[in-house]
Amino acid sequence: MSAQKLTKRDIVQQLSDSGELLRRDVAEVVQGVLDSISTALKKGKKVELRNFGVFEIQMRRARVGRNPNHPEKPIKIPAQGVVKFRAGKDLRRYVKAHS
């Protein structure tokens, strides 16, 4: 599988090409959706997009790490929240069928 990427700009272009909306309007909507997801996650909410997947914040516990350049010195890594994504059933099925 190749390491191609799809950017926000590509999404805006595809949506504006497929309809009657101006690229500027599509860009505002796409950015609004992303901002809404980010805001909800910052507030600790779970974001569920039916048939696509779920975004949520999970706390990673504090731990002791090692610097590869100075392995004799342990480094304290604090607990922190990380964004996790779980693909929905339809998305998993689609990816499996097309891989």
| Predicted TM-score (pTM) of this structure | 0.78
Measured between alpha carbons, how far is 35 from 42 in angstroms, rounded to an integer?
10
> pLDDT tens digits, residue range 36-64?
999 999 999 999 999 999 999 999 999 99
Q: Which domain holds residue 27?
A: 8-97
Of how many residues is the chain composed? Answer: 99
Residue 19 DSSP code: S
Mean pLDDT, the chain, whole residue set = 93
CATH number at residue 81: 4.10.520.10
Asked, for residue 71, whether it belongs to a domain, the answer is: yes
**pLDDT value at position 25?**
95
Phi, psi of 97 (to 5 degrees): -70, -25
Q: Tally the domains of the chain.
A: 1
Predicted confidence band of residue 2 (pLDDT cuts 50, 70, 90): low
